[in-house]
Structure 1
Amino acid sequence: MKPLLKIARVWLQRAVFSPIYFFVFASSLFGFLLAAPVQALQITVTVPPLAGMIAPLLDQEDHIEVLLKPGVSPHGFQLKPSQLAVLQKTDLLLSVGTPVDAWVTKFAARIQAKQLRLADLTAVEKLPMRIGGIWEKSLGDKHAGHDHEHDDHSNPLSFDGHLWMSMSNARQLIMQTAQVLRVLKPHKAQQIALAQEQWLAQLQAQDEQNRARLQAVQDKAFLVLHDAFQYFEHQYGLNGVGSVRLNPDVPPSLKRIAELRERMIAGKVACIFQEPQFPSKPLQRLAAGTSAKLGILDPMGTLYIKQSAEPQEAYMLYDQFSEQLTAAFVACLGAAHE
Structure 2
Amino acid sequence: MLYNNAEFAMLFRSMTAIGLMATQAQADVPNVVADIAPIHSLVARVMQGVGEPTMIMQQGASPHGYTLRPSEAAALQDADVVFWVGEELSPWLEDAVENLARDAHSVELLHTEGTNLLNFREEVVFGEHGDHDDHGHEDKHADHDHGHGHDDHHGEENHADHDEHGHEEGHKDHDDHHDEHKEEHAGHDDHGHDHDGADPHAWLSPDNAINWLKVIAEELSEHDQANAELYATNAAAGATEIAAASEAIAAKLAPMTDGRYLVFHDAYQYFEATYGIQATGSLHLSDATPPSAARLVELQEEIKEHGISCVFAEPQFNDDLVAAITPEGTNRGILDPLATDIPAGPALYTAWLNGMAQAVVDCIK
Opposite residue 121 of structure 1, the aligned amino acid is T
Give me the whole-angstrom Cα distance separating, in 2, the residues matched to 1:299 and 1:222: 16
Deviation of 1:103 (Å) = 1.6
Q: Is structure 2 residue 337 aligned with structure 1 residue 299?
A: yes
What's the TM-score once normalised by structure 2's chain length? Answer: 0.74
Deviation of 1:197 (Å) = 1.8
Match in the other structure for 2:201: 162
Which deviates further from its counterpart, 52-61 or 125-134? Answer: 52-61
SS at match of 1:109: helix
Deviation of 1:193 (Å) = 2.0
Match in the other structure for 2:106: 115
Give me the whole-angstrom Cα distance separating, in 2, the residues matched to 1:167 and 1:183: 25
Match in the other structure for 1:287: 326
Which deviates further from its counterpart, 55-64 or 111-120? Answer: 55-64
Deviation of 1:144 (Å) = 5.8
What's the TM-score once normalised by structure 1's chain length? Answer: 0.80
Aligned 8 A contact 1:244 1:252 in 2:
yes
Q: Which runs of 5+ in 1 are unaligned?
A: 1-28, 306-310
Give me the whole-angstrom Cα distance separating, in 2, the residues matched to 1:240 and 1:194: 37
Q: Is structure 2 residue 136 aligned with structure 1 residue 143?
A: no
Percent identity (aligned): 27
RMSD between aligned alpha carbons? Answer: 2.6
Identify the match of residue 51 of structure 1 among 15, 24, 40.
40
Aligned 8 A contact 2:56 2:76 in 1:
no
Match in the other structure for 1:101: 90
Alpha-carbon spacing, 1:218–1:134, altered in 2? closer, same or farther (3 Å): same
Give me the whole-angstrom Cα distance separating, in 2, the residues matched to 1:282 and 1:67: 30
SS at match of 1:244: strand
Aligned 8 A contact 2:36 2:59 in 1:
no
Deviation of 1:288 (Å) = 2.4
Match in the other structure for 1:130: 121
Identify the match of residue 92 of structure 1 among 67, 73, 81.
81
Alpha-carbon spacing, 1:221–1:153, altered in 2? closer, same or farther (3 Å): farther
Q: Deviations over 1:127-165 (max 9, x none)?
A: 011013222x24xx2226766545894328311111111
Deviation of 1:53 (Å) = 1.4
Give me the whole-angstrom Cα distance separating, in 2, the residues matched to 1:323 and 1:192: 25
SS at match of 1:63: coil
Q: How many pairs are equivalent? A: 296
Q: Is structure 2 residue 353 aligned with structure 1 residue 322?
A: yes
Give me the whole-angstrom Cα distance separating, in 1, the residues matched to 2:22 and 2:252: 50
The 5 Å alignment of 1:152-301 reads 153-155=152-154, 157-289=196-328, 291-301=329-339
Deviation of 1:317 (Å) = 2.1
Aligned 8 A contact 1:45 1:65 in 2:
yes
SS at match of 2:53: strand
Give me the whole-angstrom Cα distance separating, in 2, the residues matched to 1:55 and 1:205: 19
Deviation of 1:268 (Å) = 1.6
Which deviates further from its counterpart, 75-84 or 229-238? Answer: 75-84
Larger-Rg structure: 1
Give me the whole-angstrom Cα distance separating, in 2, the residues matched to 1:195 and 1:53: 10
Which deviates further from its counterpart, 181-190 or 265-274? Answer: 181-190
Which deviates further from its counterpart, 32-41 or 92-101? Answer: 32-41
